[in-house]
Structure 1
């Protein structure tokens, strides 16, 4: 069994030889700022990525453009490569590449939306067999810009020059996975749907940043390059609505620079370069441009009071908004740097700035990607928009823009907003505790976004129960992608609250989720510090621009497993927190630490005479490893010393009572005893022939490549915690798992079932990697092949498979799962809950 490759996305492109992934400590800091790659280094990375084109069913028309770099953990660098076709970017199709200091690829996270282009399937736009996708536009980029300007704001002026990028626009659609085809709409879970390409359009992405009066009007619009029709459009303005005397924090120290006889509100200690050469606060003075850096004759700033409308923006009252901004900016920088090692917004220590007093009585604050800066209004319905969580929120947009660059529409837009809300709460907690230290405190913030700026006391958003605002949902649904991003952020905000603080089991509580139905009903939180580290790792190393809720859940889980371990309390908390918002199913919490306890009680069993009766027990806490003893009717069973016990039952065994004791390895050892389980032997009922079909007892009952059984990073169980992961190696390999069963001659039905999940880095219609499910005799001769699965049939979740084995009644046969994988590009066949029930 080869070391499992960690899966980073629903679609992974792994090179035949990958560099080893460095050990990752939960508190390991990000590396120092990185230099951009040289043209030669860029070309070398593109060549490595392109080497897999033939295997992926792509051709010379496909390539990559390295779009950005930022630091990874110490010893690594992260690059983001956009997929291109005939030199045009394929929107939302990209690869996140982690490389080590030698330039070797450590891992890749891929959002692949290019497979239908020139793959031999014909032109997916007009359906002409054998045609190639046409990249010649019928209208110009300037014409596309004119169309957008006339539709959006014909009398507005451009704040920055409009841009029209010719690209390939994949038109996406949601389809149900096989196991969810017959579910009602209300019963759908986020993992029941997957996004697939319906067809492609040649289009312009038109970015307009305009000002109408004093109102910023920022839009991204996708315009057909063939006929000028609008294919998609979304708002691009990343808003929050969607010793200085500060208004919200009392007297605070702020970092300034003495220039001649004046003090400038420029921080010489945080960030370099940028527009003003350092972190700075400027005075927009009711305009829409940055204005000039604040200056003052003394180094005492502000009066701590709400700005008086119409008053001076430079006197003590006008300076207070600048104090608010600088204090928030300093704490945002320090939280990222001291806790994570991340320098400024982009990780490369590039200075940013905040412009105060933007517009007149402006009830908003926003982040602008063009200047990588923030604008704060004085408020009218609100107080000044410069509270600590609002600053942290808007600066969080800068971090997202520098890393995953989550598209600001549909589900990815909601995650973008949520990431900023999470950042705002983390900065608030850090600042309230003094703004020092290497961890984020688990107190100090109120889990309500923008409460301080509200004149009514009503916050903009409630993290713990989003629906309190009357518009945000508490959980995912298939229609969430249609909401404004400030509302579709709600479920992920709630997820983060539950992950860090836990939930409540009382149905009337604001902290209750009906989707949490495992034990205990009130899930346990892991604290803000751990929760934020997990989120940041997923955001910076795994998310792509089109990550949705289902993809986020998988990547956040993987981040937790990499930081804290597979099966850790932190990984379990991620599963439960996402389950609480209808993304994935709930799981039981595994007891850790404290005294040893029984976590899974033996269940009553009913079988037919001659069938196998199997009992299992689970334990947690205490000190591993555990030792086991089984008892029948109170008498010790000799040789029964594993977590499961099974035997061939006869009629005389009916009514027997079984229990287990579990002893840990502490000194002195502690022993706990399970509840009783009763065996019923009846010829009139169904019976289970497979021993340990859920693999919870490890290799018990199974032969072959038993190292495939367990819990591994990158995959999850259909139920319980263990499964069999066949494949996933990315190298030439053959693996098998088999179990011998005897099907009674008197059987009237014999139904084999199992849950199977397939994911792959392969593309195209060629079956490179296969899994065969066969029935063999005792000598290993194949009596029948039930099914053959391959890399051509991946699915985002488990699918249940069922077959009749009645043709083999009266025989002892082997149920066999046989996997064959070729030399490169992994395919994983994950099997769980194997069952053979006879009647």
Structure 2
């Protein structure tokens, strides 16, 4: 929704924009921490703002209160000034001011809800009645009491409750000109405007309580005359939401040695704070309802953790208990480094103030949260989930801290969805940075665009950023009802916007990366890469967004950030317009001036082979920026592990007619891609070659197979070698045995008998020790082992599928049972994924 504010346009138009130098855009780092402005400097800024307000028709009753300050780009400071009337804050009405070292205003981003407060304001375009009576009917203590009785009458305060008397603008949503007769389903976010309806004298009451077995953090707007609740929302910022380094192997973590004892404090990142340095503490199962950070982790040696999931009920200080702390410290270090090295932003507040993460909160707690009271984070051990200490989850929670220190987006409605989305964006960018080595001054690719997939026991992530609706609850695009959703679901469209901004879209309506709202040229929008997308988003959140920024306002301010960084009319600004248009926020535009990229120079040729023969397809590319990456597709579906210029397969009769194509992507930022034409595979009679395995690709489910047939299917977390289905043996992370068998007859007259299958192995095991196995054997019809073909283990893990083949001619004249038997130990999963099983005889 738009916020109808004629004053905003006037005030911003009067301001000079930050000087733009495209060559230096990536070098616009945030300044180092500096002291807060002096009272004299703040008074001077307020005086300048009041003078500007006078020119806009604001009388002497209107004022400004400095709320927060943080570093801006080198040479600037960001100040957030709340608008006041007769000394009372006007809720949601504020200015974000960028000043230079001389104290001059460089730019101002305004959310203006002041019109009509006094009789003199009546000429400023509002029908709202002036608010003349500013005397509350009861005091702050009674306001707190009313909220406590309604929210948690038996609760205990964790942080001192607060009640602020203020002026609350009650807004209403109206249709913009030209959208009056649109159907509800056809509305774009820019078709709606929020306009002032009237004012209420109100208290903003903040209660942070513990009630029974949970935390009850609420922000409440309470009518100061009647005591009625005008609005209320959840204030605890979590990663999981409502409803429903074991991840990184051996990692270097910073600790502090005192005497002969090591403590998990990193004095090289951050200063001050509760523990004097960045720290990981042991909450030691203190309850969610009243979590206590406990003391900083200590150890007699500087080797920490065992890399295993925490054993419920076990020690929180032995090697197993330390692993959650290792996870947390690794996430904290990488989040700090990504923000500082890439953006110049230090710690959560930009002022390099140390924070801490408390591990092992409560028992089997399935969440992680940022607590604004201590500016710290708590992580649980998980029950439905694994330990909630993955890189993206830690990055998510720390990003809540950044938002808390800057835009402070209200955690409800559309602004709450943007708050959550900002944390998902931060978490995924931290993951990308860490996966690429955790160094450098740019955000690379390499993230999975799925939030929390590592903590999942089922392979299902918390959220899919590229297509939020895959969770069954989050929308892919803005609608007029989005503000009614839980913030973990209303974040979905903005997450998708960020994916499109970074990676671009797909023009095929069957693709997960397709948007029907993109109707300009080209149909597939061009992304600008992680680094530029994150810089634009971070600049908008820290220097443009205000507390009640909604989707329409976010679109405009993200566009402003892109234009300031890369120029008006730049491809980056165009990408912002298109990315928001892709989620039904604003109109789509044509791309122009996008330089030519990679193109296909050699198309793959069609191939004819006999069954059992090798079929190869090759693609050539030119233009763009080398090196290129390759992705092969069969009948439009991606072939896992086929990432070279040439793709080769062992052809079966069933493969005849399949069409193969390749997508080539260059290394530019943003990357360009080109897709080849299709090449057809024809499999001839082949001199009598016969396929003996039934349903070797598992596309007909369990047909032909015996044993643990529940492993057959199409599951999130793994992909098929070809087609959509596969057999996923293992992947449980606990003690398990699973077996797949099929009986096949090898003719006595056979002159050749070749068994082949595609196998992918991935594992969470970190030691070079065999823990989990897959044994492939040939058995008699009675089950006796006739021969062991191969034994694979967690030590054989590799990216993509590997083709395996074996000569079974020694078993001609027999009906034998092919057996794939998996055993998995008590912890840390290993997945053995089997596809395209074939036994060809001649």
TM-score by length of 1: 0.68
Q: Name the SS of the counterpart of 2:215 in structure 1.
A: strand
Report how many aligned residue pairs link the two structures. Answer: 587
Structure 1 residue 148, shift from structure 2 partner:
1.2
Structure 1 residue 87, shift from structure 2 partner:
1.1
Any conservation in 1 of the 2:517–2:582 contact (CA below 8 Å)?
yes
Query: Is 2:190 the counterpart of 1:188?
Result: no
Any conservation in 2 of the 1:9–1:551 contact (CA below 8 Å)?
no
Deviation string, structure 1 residues 37-79 (Cα, Å, up to 9, x no partner): 1111111111110112332222221111111111111111110
Q: 1:298 to 1:515 in 2, by over 3 A?
A: same
Q: Which residue of 2 aligns with 1:564?
A: 566
**Aligned equivalents of 1:435 and 1:528: distance in 2?**
15
**Aligned equivalents of 2:207 and 2:216: distance in 1?**
8
- Name which of 339, 342, 348 aligns with 2:342: 339
Q: Which residue of 1 aligns with 2:98?
A: 98
Q: Which residue of 2 aligns with 1:221?
A: 220
**Aligned equivalents of 1:18 and 1:491: distance in 2?**
32
Query: Is 2:38 the counterpart of 1:38?
Result: yes
Any conservation in 1 of the 2:170–2:196 contact (CA below 8 Å)?
yes
Query: Aligned ranges for residues 285-684 of structure 1 at < 5 Å?
Result: 285-287=284-286, 288-443=291-446, 445-594=447-596
Any conservation in 2 of the 1:393–1:424 contact (CA below 8 Å)?
yes
Q: Which residue of 2 aligns with 1:263?
A: 262
Query: Is 2:82 the counterpart of 1:82?
Result: yes
Q: 1:127 to 1:545 in 2, by over 3 A?
A: closer
**Aligned equivalents of 1:595 and 1:281: distance in 2?**
47
Q: Name the SS of the counterpart of 2:533 in structure 1.
A: helix
Q: Which residue of 2 aligns with 1:652?
A: none
Q: 1:121 to 1:70 in 2, by over 3 A?
A: closer
Q: Which residue of 1 aligns with 2:615?
A: none
Any conservation in 2 of the 1:9–1:542 contact (CA below 8 Å)?
no
Q: Which residue of 2 aligns with 1:136?
A: 135
Q: Which is further off, 105-114 or 150-159? A: 150-159
**Aligned equivalents of 1:419 and 1:87: distance in 2?**
32
Q: Which is further off, 569-578 or 485-494? A: 569-578
Any conservation in 1 of the 2:21–2:566 contact (CA below 8 Å)?
no
**Aligned equivalents of 1:499 and 1:8: distance in 2?**
29
Q: Name the SS of the counterpart of 2:195 in structure 1.
A: strand
Query: Aligned ranges for residues 108-119 of structure 1 at < 5 Å?
Result: 108-119=108-119
Q: Which residue of 1 aligns with 2:611?
A: none
**Aligned equivalents of 1:14 and 1:588: distance in 2?**
27
Q: Which residue of 2 aligns with 1:241?
A: 240
Structure 1 unmatched ranges of 5 or more: 1-6, 598-620, 623-839
Query: Aligned ranges for residues 157-236 of structure 1 at < 5 Å?
Result: 157-236=156-235
**Aligned equivalents of 1:381 and 1:216: distance in 2?**
20
Structure 1 residue 214, shift from structure 2 partner:
3.6
**Aligned equivalents of 1:46 and 1:518: distance in 2?**
45
Q: 1:177 to 1:280 in 2, by over 3 A?
A: same
Structure 1 residue 9, shift from structure 2 partner:
9.6
Any conservation in 2 of the 1:518–1:588 contact (CA below 8 Å)?
yes
**Aligned equivalents of 2:568 and 2:234: distance in 1?**
39
Give the aligned CA root-mean-square deviation in angstroms: 2.4
Q: 1:502 to 1:584 in 2, by over 3 A?
A: same
Deviation string, structure 1 residues 275-334 (Cα, Å, up to 9, x no partner): 111101111111101111111111111111111111111111111110000000000000
Q: 1:434 to 1:107 in 2, by over 3 A?
A: same
Query: Aligned ranges for residues 760-775 of structure 1 at < 5 Å?
Result: none
**Aligned equivalents of 1:122 and 1:574: distance in 2?**
37
Deviation string, structure 1 residues 607-662 (Cα, Å, up to 9, x no partner): xxxxxxxxxxxxxx99xxxxxxxxxxxxxxxxxxxxxxxxxxxxxxxxxxxxxxxx
**Aligned equivalents of 1:430 and 1:8: distance in 2?**
41
Structure 1 residue 562, shift from structure 2 partner:
1.7
Q: 1:22 to 1:474 in 2, by over 3 A?
A: closer
**Aligned equivalents of 1:127 and 1:511: distance in 2?**
45
**Aligned equivalents of 1:123 and 1:317: distance in 2?**
68
Which structure ranks higher in relative contact order (CA pairs < 8 Å, sequence separation ≥ 6)?
Answer: 1
Any conservation in 2 of the 1:353–1:374 contact (CA below 8 Å)?
yes
Q: 1:526 to 1:302 in 2, by over 3 A?
A: same
Q: Which residue of 2 aligns with 1:13?
A: 11
**Aligned equivalents of 1:423 and 1:127: distance in 2?**
41
Any conservation in 1 of the 2:361–2:378 contact (CA below 8 Å)?
yes
**Aligned equivalents of 2:55 and 2:74: distance in 1?**
32
Any conservation in 1 of the 2:19–2:564 contact (CA below 8 Å)?
no
Any conservation in 2 of the 1:34–1:77 contact (CA below 8 Å)?
no
Structure 1 residue 260, shift from structure 2 partner:
2.0
Q: 1:107 to 1:312 in 2, by over 3 A?
A: same
Structure 2 unmatched ranges of 5 or more: 600-622, 625-842
Any conservation in 1 of the 2:189–2:586 contact (CA below 8 Å)?
yes
**Aligned equivalents of 2:128 and 2:470: distance in 1?**
52
